[in-house]
Amino acid sequence: MATKQIKISDLTGTEIRDEENLARLVIEEHPTLPDSVTLEVLAEEVEDKLPQEQNFVRVTYYPSDASGGEERTLVLSVEEFNDLSKEFDMETILTDAYREQEREGKRRGRRGRRGGGERKPRVDYSSAEHAGEPHRGRITDAEREYVRENLSEVNARLERDGHRTIDPEDPDMSERYGLFSV
């Protein structure tokens, strides 16, 4: 007796006949999900619908005491963020606020962000704690080497922490982390 496994797209229910057309869409954060979820899809179902590059602004909103609401962290597209002010250009507002904060920091005897200790420590993505995590910067040779030499441990940590794992069968990931020789 033989068993046949058929893969279908989670988005459309279309059978995925060729494994080369199988793509994954990992939802890292969603307001209704406690953890990440992976959808198996046909590449053609999403490729031309996903933007090549996205710019987001993460903000934390602290409501007034009068409103009695709780603070919320939000991710907005740059366009949504810019629409918060209809009267003024958002770039000008940000530049003015940044300059004012720098001046205020100097008045208090600090040198803005650098001297004030407000900056978060830089994450070392070549370390055992962070190698392979999704990030905006480029993949360094040190991170690439660590991931190559410790792929199973890296993937176990990524999965445990709710991140997407590194799939050596995925051509983009394989190239990004140097998991194959050309």
pLDDT value at residue 112: 45
- pLDDT, one tens digit per residue, over 49-83 is 877 667 788 888 877 777 777 888 888 888 888 89
pLDDT value at residue 150: 92
pLDDT value at residue 156: 92
The three-class DSSP label of residue 79 is: helix
Output the DSSP codes for 48-85: TTS-S---EEEEEE---TTT-PPPEEEEEEHHHHHTT-
Take residue 105 and report the two structure tokens written for it.
């920091």
pLDDT value at residue 108: 66
Domain map of the chain by residue range?
A: 1-50, 56-116, 123-182
CB 41 within 8 A of CB 14: no
Point out the residues of the chain with pLDDT beneath 70: 52-53, 108-120, 180-182
**pTM above threshold 0.75:** no
- pLDDT, one tens digit per residue, over 42-58 is 888 888 887 766 778 88
